[in-house]
Amino acid sequence: MGNSQNGKEDMDYDQVMKNFSFYQEINHFQLGNIKIFDAIENKNHKVFQFKRLCQSDQQLQQLKNHFQQRKTLMNEHLIRIFYVMGKESVMCSDASHVVILGEYFQNTLQTEHEYNLNQKLIFNESRLWLIIYQIIQCCAYLEEQGKYHGDLNIQHIYLDLDGSVKLIEHDLIPGAMNPFQKSLYNNEFHAFSPELLNLLQQGDKENSYMKLDIGILNKTDVFSLGLIILELASQFPTQQYYDWQTKTLNYQQIISAIQFLPNRGYSTILQNLLLQMCQQDIEVRPGFQEMRTGLKSLENDILSHTAFYRSHIK
């Protein structure tokens, strides 16, 4: 790699950071320890900086390659990485490290959900359709790239200033435990699909999880998304459907909650979509690319907030 390359990257980094001022350092849900910077010309525009020390040149190159590859992923609902720097250790200087800069959004769907609960408001159905549409667009794109989100919950669905969805997939930062490992080793709750719960019930099945193909893993995300939308619409927490001690799911309770949605003023179209997304049988449950195709005819109505579903409200 060489010092000349390091020097160029340092200069590029300094040029980029002239546009930002330090705001705070936080421990982020998905990214770990990061620094947040404000854009000098617009304080509402924030970026995050992630830095990882490297023990060897090989690790440095592997991390740099990973982030450079991630930088090429472009979808309007996927958090963008716009700068990657790998710096080798130089005598009497900094340790080898990789630095990345990416978009940062503080608000989450959890924030919006809590506001509605506190104000005794319900989610407008057109808002729910937009959230569904945007998440499907992003996750279908990830699936096309041979990836999956793997960590969908309302705390990890970020919102820009316009309320548009922004996502961070589970493995943006390599080396961290994925949600299945967190559940397996730390007993951390996750709203898993029936097939992932079955693996947890069998004990140490991390190898089985790692062998699942992308199609199956994306369909587990579809189930999670269905439960997220159900929580927003019903205003009841997803945890109520699980007995986490036994790692079991009260599936009939989910179906009953979805079937009750028309009584809360939601359409039967939304109800039927959630019934499909929360199918117990993974073979019947649709994938993101299939749902993206299915929503194509409704795209203009969803994006323009047209109440296309009104005639399907009882």
Contact 46, 37 (CB under 8 A): yes
DSSP code at position 16? H
Contact 219, 287 (CB under 8 A): yes
b/e map 117-156, b = 16+ CB within 10 Å:
eeeeebbebbebbbbbbbbbbbbbbbbeeebbbbbbbbeb
What would be the CATH architecture of the domain defined by 109-312?
Orthogonal Bundle (1.10)
pLDDT of residue 7: 46
User: Mind listing the pLDDT tens digit for each residue in 187-198?
Assistant: 999 999 999 999
Q: Which CATH superfamily is domain 3-104 in?
A: Phosphorylase Kinase; domain 1 (3.30.200.20)
Contact 43, 66 (CB under 8 A): no
pLDDT of residue 3: 43
The per-residue pLDDT of the chain, averaged, comes to: 92
Q: What is the 3-state secondary structure (H, E, C) of 188-233?
A: CCCCCCHHHHHHHHCCCCHHHHHCCCHHHHHHHHHHHHHHHHHHHH
Residues carrying CATH 3.30.200.20, the chain:
3-104
User: Mind listing the pLDDT tens digit for each residue in 215-233?
Assistant: 999 999 999 999 999 999 9
Strands 242-243 and 165-167: unpaired
Residues carrying CATH 1.10.510.10, the chain:
109-312
